Amino acid sequence: MPSGAEHEARIRSGGDDLLSIAVADSTECQQLAEKLRDSSYWLECVAGIDSVVVQFDATKMDIDEARQKIEVSLESPLPGSEVVGELIEIPVCYGGTCGPDFDRLCEQLQLSSDELVALHTGDEYRVDMLGFTPGFAYIGGLNEALNVPRLSRPRLHVPAGSVGIADGRTGVYALPGPGGWPIIGRTSLTLFAPSSDQPFLLRAGFRVRFRAISSEQFDAMANA
């Protein structure tokens, strides 16, 4: 079992009411965040790729007390099974105007268009975290055959719903904005609904499957 000193080394202050806990991997992040959410001590627990950030009410406890409560939580083992999140199917129109980097990546990876789509749609993934821009989903587990770097020159504008791949992950843009991920397609799903209780469709821990659709299906769904 890790010592108190090792626990303390894993915990870093992020401000007067924030603490960050270093974690081995994204699976452990989800498990630890789920465990901490069961406590009434924390205002929010956010799982990242290799850390969990907790926010506490600084008017009710100081940072040393918050740190001690986290250390106590780290003394007991995490749940043995992986946290299973909701499964979301994301329809994607690959290539063409929806995927401006698709053809180039097919050539770079020496894959046919059908092979690239089959590889990307053939697995179930998990949302590791949201970040970069509001609602942007970092989705882990990309097939190694699709591993490519980010663009050397980021685009100034990437449409909402764009689906990119880079550095072993899929990235899904919930909002329009700049971005440096090679874009292979675009989904017709509404990923951001500001009037909803949960404005972003994707959340950390959710499971994801991608499904290929035609450009005609994309237009019909987008205009429905």
For residue 49, what pLDDT is reported? 77
CATH code for the domain in which residue 196 is found: 2.40.100.10
Q: Hey, which residues does 22 pair with through a beta bridge?
A: 51
Instruction: State which of 75, 108, 131 marks the end of a domain.
Output: 75
Please give the structure tokens belonging to residue 24: 């081995």
In whole angstroms, give the CA distance from residue 79 to residue 31: 7
For residue 83, what pLDDT is reported? 55
Instruction: State which of 54, 75, 96 marks the end of a domain.
Output: 75
For residue 80, what pLDDT is reported? 54
In whole angstroms, give the CA distance from residue 55 to residue 151: 34
- Rounded mean pLDDT for each run of 10 residues along the chain, 224 residues in total: 52 88 79 83 83 90 92 77 77 98 98 98 91 89 95 96 96 96 97 90 91 96 85
For residue 190, what pLDDT is reported? 93
Q: Has residue 81 been placed in a domain? A: no
Q: Do residues 176 and 154 both lie within one domain?
A: yes
Please count the residues of the chain.
224
Q: Do residues 112 and 216 both lie within one domain?
A: yes
Q: Do residues 171 and 103 both lie within one domain?
A: yes
For residue 56, what pLDDT is reported? 93
Q: What are 3-47's pLDDT values in tens digits?
A: 444 555 589 888 889 999 988 777 787 788 878 888 889 988 887
